[in-house]
Amino acid sequence: MQLFKARSAYKSASYLMLTLCVCAVPWVPARADDTGDAATKLTGEAGRDWLLGDVVSWMGSGDTCSSGQVYHFSKDKTVRIEDCVAGKRQVSTLAWTVKSDPPLDVLLELPDKSYKIVFYMKEGHQHLILREQGASKIDPTVDHDFVLSED
Amino acid sequence: MEDSTKRSWDVGLGIVGPILTVAGILIGVWQFNVGESRKAAYEHATKLWQQRVDTYSAVAKLAGKIAAPPDDKTFQQSVNEFMSAYWGDMILVEDANVEKAMIDFRTEVADFQQGRSSSDRLKIRADVLMNAFKTSVSQQAPQQ
């Protein structure tokens, strides 16, 4: 009986300790962009081009290209993806939405994929990361880092 | 009572008595074994649970130090220790929700180190992580 009481007391003390640890970290209101801000940042006033990597200008005239990928987000909730595959420009258009994933994340939802959105500034340029987060520790997290086209 | 009847009773009791005694001993041994088995299972579950609490507490302290570091040196040292626990002790004890919170916290730390996040966001991730610890501990407490 005494052993049982001692165990119960130990269990209670453990709970208390963990609770104190939680309380020791002050809660700070989220500063994260909400879905409206994220959508506005993606599209700007009418639409915006986001270039994969730090590529500034990479498409040639006509359908020929060397490399790269451009996401053009429009206000009408479509994204035009221009991809360079085997030296030829391929264009596809998809529907997009943004969704909140509390407490901090905003997700970009495409028909076949979902990405976490991260905006940041680097050397005066607006960057966008579309992040595919691994489902477990051993699955890689893949960041697609875009820079806002200044054109 | 006639002698033959009395004799029959004596023989009957002589046979049934030892059988009952042996059965009683066997039941007693069985009960003892069941009790010992339950006790061992409880003690094992308690030990694992305690190991989980200890590991969570240690990582919770590290997350707190990362979210609110007194200086840069402490921050980097805490991040290194957190990563050791991330790939070490935590794998032994964490459940799926805690694993997700660990991944989120680690990713936020990486973003913070590359200037893509803020101290406020780190604190919120730490809060989420510790709540995941609390839920995991309460859900998996050993039952007697």
**Which of A11, A104, A141 minimises the CB distance to B124?**
A104
Examine the pLDDT at B86 and tell me if it is beyond 70. Answer: yes
Residue ranges of the domains in chain A?
A: 2-148
Proportion of chain A above pLDDT 90, given as a percent: 39
Residue A66 binned pLDDT confidence (cut-offs 50, 70, 90): confident
- Total Cβ atoms within 10 A of residue B80: 10
- Which of B90, B127, B129 should we substitute to test contact with A (largest number of A Cβ atoms within 10 Å)? B127
pLDDT at B141: 87
- The more confident residue out of B108 and A11 is B108
Point out the residue among A21, A27, A133 whose CB comes nearest to the CB of B103.
A133
From the list A2, A84, A73, the residue with the least C-alpha distance to A39 is A73
Q: Is the pTM of this model over 0.80?
A: no
**Closest Cα to residue B75, out of B83, B84, B65?**
B65
Contact state of A104 with B134 under an 8 Å Cβ cutoff: no
The CATH class given to the B42-139 domain equals: mainly alpha
What pLDDT score was predicted for residue B71?
85
CB of B134 within 8 Å of any CB in chain A? yes
* A86-103 pLDDT per residue, tens: 878 889 999 999 999 999
Whether ipTM > 0.85 holds is no
pLDDT in tens, A36-45: 888 998 988 8
Q: How far is A110 from chain B (nearest CA, A)?
A: 22
Nearest chain B CA: its distance from A91 CA (Å): 31
| pLDDT given at position A31 | 39
Kindly tell me if the per-residue pLDDT of B41 is higher than 70: yes
Digit-coded pLDDT (tens) for B44-78:
999 999 999 999 999 999 999 999 988 888 999 99
Long-range contacts of B85-91 (CB under 8 A, 24+ apart): B85/B55, B85/B58, B85/B59, B86/A137, B87/A137, B89/B55, B89/B58, B89/B59, B90/B55, B90/B59, B91/A137
DSSP-assigned states of every residue in B95-132:
-HHHHHHHHHHHHHHHHHHTTSS-HHHHHHHHHHHHHH
What pLDDT is stored for residue A30 in this prediction?
38
Comparing A47 with B26, the larger pLDDT belongs to B26
A118 to chain B: closest CA residue: B116
Q: Tens digits of per-residue pLDDT, B111-141?
A: 999 999 999 999 999 999 999 999 999 998 8
Asked whether B79 and B109 are in contact (CB, 8 A), the reply is: yes
